[in-house]
Chain A
């Protein structure tokens, strides 16, 4: 009899304690010691980065002995730091007859295909003189100047030439991600088109627009 009574008490005690244990989980402590999965600090994945810049440009390029012509091209930059950026450029222009061809009237030094002048280069740029320009008292734009230099290849007159480029420019940021660029580039290479080796510096003036992404 006593044995049976003990069992009943034990059973009741167990049954009573079980909901107590469950209640502990739902209690006020449960909210504080919550599951850990939610507690993730902000990481770089949460933030959009805009270190690449893609631009198009249009301008005038003077090809020594072959006249000044309109040039169009594209550029892709990667901004390594606020100071330095890497830039790849591609440009295309059509050259004109030399003065000799014009005066002689009949002589054609190059074929139509050979007159096409294309270049590409890989360059390193450095931003300096950051600042702002004001259009009115409360309306301003960020600006920056840069110098750039690099090496690349020019295809002209059916030949390829290793080409150095040096340049500088001025950038105006219309918004954070949209910039206008006024730049000059000099493209230096050596050719032997007229029999003798000559070093030429083909100057390019260009106006570009670019977006950061």
Chain B
């Protein structure tokens, strides 16, 4: 009897509609919707002007070259993934060419397509950026997500959401801020940021029976963007948090972060 109970417990459980299964079915529905949205028509055509172009089997330099498009051959541009463009030739050959090759093509009006790999200069014209960072929040491990909207080359408004997991308490911070980059065109571009938001602190349940508390805070940050490649930046950040507690004194916490940002 006892051994049967142990056996029953140790056998894998296949519950009916478990949380996991529900998640799977709802996500499959999302997948199908995305598939329907991806259908496209009216793809642009270009003609190879003055050289030949290697066609790879996949969107990467490591995928083998299986076809070469010759001069004066017309190709249809289907879609783009990172720096690769899927093309179809008149003979129905389909593969991927590197975006730099478009400089050797002409569209129907005889002009070179204005489609090129992203550079640091493009960053100055783009509006949106998103990224994540990890670091240290006064001994707690911090993980944060940020999204920014650029008004001008120098000014960005951003939203930061972070989760700090510590030994004695966990906390979440939601803040909005304004960031100033005096030299946005530099490869290593420093910034200064002022922010305000709210922190929610949850003491560890195993240690003390304390209540969650919410406080307002101000943030002052110094940091720098380091342009890596394409749309990709490394971000280093030091933020001083001035937490306005309900007690007599305010708390001051310094947070260090390292993260990655991409712009759109």
Q: Pick the contact of B80: A50, A103, A130 (CB < 8 A).
A: A50
A: contact size bracket: 35 or more
In B44-78, which residues have CB < 8 Å from any A CB?
Answer: 44, 46, 57-64, 77-78
Q: Which of B15, B19, B28, B134 contacts A56 (CB 8 A)?
A: B28
B179-194 interface mask toward A, CB cutoff 8 Å, 1 = contact, 0 = none? 0000000000000000
Question: Closest CB-CB distance, B209 to chain A, in whole Å?
Answer: 13
Instruction: Evaluate contact between A124 and B20: CB separation under 8 angstroms.
Output: no
Q: Are B132 and A80 in contact, CB atoms less than 8 angstroms apart?
A: no
CA distance A119 to B61 in the complex (A): 34
**Which of the residues A47, A68, A96, A153 comes within 8 Å of B79, measured between beta carbons?**
A47
- Residues in B neighbouring A137, C-beta threshold 8 A: none
- Is A66 interfacial (CB 8 A cutoff)? no
Q: Which residue of A lies closest to B58 (CB)?
A: A142
Residues of A within 8 A of B145 (CB): 122
Say what secondary structure dominates the interface of chain B.
Answer: mixed
Interface size class of B (residues with CB under 8 A): 35 or more
Complex contact A162–B34 (CB within 8 A): no
Q: A58, B82: Cβ atoms under 8 Å? A: no
> Is the C-beta of A136 less than 8 angstroms from some C-beta in chain B?
no
Question: Given known contacts A153-B163, A159-B206, is B79 in contact with A71 (CB within 8 Å)?
Answer: no
Q: Is A30 positioned at the interface, with any CB of B under 8 Å from its CB?
A: no
If A39-B111, A41-B107, A84-B232 touch, whether A47 touches B85 (CB-CB below 8 Å) is: yes
Contact A72 B20 (CB under 8 A): yes
A78 touches B262 (CB 8 A): yes
Q: Are A50 and B18 in contact (CB under 8 A)?
A: no
**Complex contact A151–B134 (CB within 8 A):** yes
Contact present for A70 and B229 (CB under 8 Å):
no
A124 CB to nearest chain B CB (Å): 6
B19 close to A82 (CB less than 8 A)? no
How far, in angstroms, from A54 to B28 measured CA to CA in the complex? 11
A146–chain B nearest beta-carbon distance, Å? 12
Please tell me if the beta carbons of B24 and A144 are within 8 angstroms of each other in the complex: no
Q: Counting CB contacts under 8 A, is B225 at the interface?
A: no
Q: Does A72 contact B5, Cβ atoms closer than 8 Å?
A: no
**Residues of chain A lying within 8 A (CB to CB) of residue B163:** 153, 160
Closest A residue to B206 using CB positions: A192
A211 and B27 CA atoms in complex are apart in Å by 12
**Are B63 and A131 in contact (CB-based, < 8 A)?**
yes
Q: Are A49 and B86 in contact (CB under 8 A)?
A: no
A33 in the interface, Cβ–Cβ < 8 Å? no
Separation in Å of the B125 CB from the closest CB of chain A?
Answer: 12
Give the shortest distance, in Å, between A172 (CB) and chain B (any CB). 11
- Which residues of B are in contact with A by a Cβ distance under 8 Å? 2, 5-6, 9-10, 12-13, 15, 18-21, 23-24, 27-28, 30-31, 34-35, 37-38, 40, 44, 46, 57-64, 77-86, 107, 109, 111-115, 132, 134, 140-141, 143, 145, 163, 165, 170, 204-206, 229-232, 260, 262
What 9 pairs between A and B have smallest CB-CB spacing?
A130-B62, A162-B141, A72-B20, A162-B165, A42-B113, A41-B111, A142-B58, A122-B132, A56-B27
New contact pairs (11) apart from A70-B18, A102-B6, CB-CB < 8 Å: A40-B109, A47-B80, A47-B115, A50-B79, A69-B12, A81-B82, A82-B59, A86-B132, A122-B143, A131-B63, A153-B143
